[in-house]
Amino acid sequence: MFIAASLAILVTMGLALVRALAGPTTFDRIAAVNMFGTKTVLLIAVLAFLSGRTDLLDIALVYALINFIGVIAALKLVTQGNFYSSDYDVNEVKKGEPE
């Protein structure tokens, strides 16, 4: 049953990867990568039980943390154009210069 679940997760990861490669906008790609990361966490968790080595669950936990921080950081970079301004300001982003 773990094999069936991991196959289903792998199919989902493939579909998300296709969308990440073909997405017309940047946000499509980020959404697909977010989904890919969540499914990676689940795949590691299922593989931990499939191979009987439940230590792998630590890796899944760390991957979940890194995935969330990575998505938020990528969104902040795409929306603001930088990491230092604390507010959304579209005009400032378009100038491309700090004030």
Partner 1 sequence: MIIDILSWIFLLAGGALGIVGGIGIYRFPDFYSRLHAAGITDTLCAMLILLGLGLQAGWSIAAFKLALIFVFLFFTSPTASHALANAALYSGLKPKLNSDEGEAKS
67 neighbors 36 (Cβ within 8 angstroms): no
The single-letter code of the amino acid at 14 is: G
State the minimum distance, in angstroms, from the CB of residue 99 to partner 1: 20
What angle do helix axes 2-22 and 26-50 make, rounded to 10 degrees? 160
* 82 class by beta-carbon count within 10 Å (0-12 exposed, 13-18 middle, 19+ buried): exposed
CB of 48 to partner 1, least distance (A): 8
Contact between 47 and partner 1 per CB under 8 A: no
Closest distance to partner 1 from the beta carbon of 30 (Å):
6
* Residue with smaller CB distance to partner 1, 55 or 99: 55
Determine if 58 is a binding residue for partner 1 (CB under 8 A): yes
Q: Which stretches of the chain bind partner 1, using CB under 8 A?
A: 1-2, 4-5, 7-9, 11-16, 18-19, 25, 27-28, 30-32, 34-35, 38-39, 41-42, 45-46, 48-49, 54, 57-58, 60-61, 64-65, 68, 71-72, 75, 78-79, 88, 90
